[in-house]
Structures are given as C-alpha cells and as structure tokens.
Amino acid sequence: MRLSTKSRYGLRAMFDIAYNCGTAPTQIQDISRRQHISQRYLEQIFQSLKKAGILQSKRGPQGGYMLAKSPEEITIRDIINATEGDLLLVECASSGRKKVPCEFDGACVTQAVWQEAALNLDAFFATQTLQSLCDRGELLGVKKEREQRLMYHI
C-alpha cells in the first residue's frame, strides 16, 4: 500500500502549521519553504483540507492558513480522509460504493484479511493527532520557526 503525495504532503503541511504557528495564520510560502513542497501543490491540497473543515484561511496582509480545530482534535485519519478519501488497501475489500466487482467476492480467503488490515490501520490513524506529531517533533529536536510578523505604524 502506498499513500499518495497529496496525503503525505498534507500531513506534513498540517504538522508544520501546528508546530510552528499554533493558532496564528501562516503564509503558504513559509510552509512551502520549510517543507520543500511547491506552493501550487499546497494550494490544491489545502482546498481539500478546507473542504473537510480542518483548515481555515484568512485573506489580507496578516492572513494565511490556520488550523480550524486544536491540534488535539485533528487526527491523521482526518487528514488522510480529506486528501485520499477512504483508506483502501485493495479495491475489492471496500464495503462502499467504491467496491470493484470481483469474481471471488464472498469466496476469497484474503478479502477478510484486507478488510481487517484496513480497519486496524484506520483505527491507528484515528489515535494519532497533530498534537502527538508535535510532541514527537519536540522529542526529535525539530526546530520551531516562530514567525515574528512585523507591524508597521505610521
């Protein structure tokens, strides 16, 4: 199984926002620079994350992107579901509308294995939050880049 770059980059970008900015808006060029992801691709990913209600944006000179919920409330599963849709290991093991007809449906000994593995992976991703990633980042010594937005007064 391989997750697409959309979900992998989406998770990295969301971690970046949570770790470096907390509740303050951050600009896409800063996330792009820190995570080495193109701004154009981030814009596409962020549309999915905004649609899912886990990312917000604010226009203007003090604007940018920010988490729509606290880091403790956003799970890796939320991010993967927003960017990938349902997590499927194999298409024939789906129970939803994405299920692909299979000549061995109902008689395949491996179908149950794939379904159980997907459920276990989904359950694991549901226990991992952005906050747990931030905690790991601190343990690993990942440097925080606190944005100091300059305010000009005339």
Cβ within 8 Å of residue 54, ≥6 positions away: 14, 67, 68, 69, 74, 78, 79, 82
Digit-by-digit pLDDT tens for the chain (154 residues) are 678 999 999 999 999 999 998 778 999 999 999 999 999 999 999 999 999 999 999 998 888 999 999 999 999 999 999 999 877 777 776 666 556 677 777 778 888 888 899 899 999 999 999 999 999 999 998 988 765 554 455 6
Domains and CATH numbers, the chain: 5-140 (1.10.10.10)
For the whole model, what pTM was predicted?
0.84
Residues facing residue 75 across a β-bridge: 129
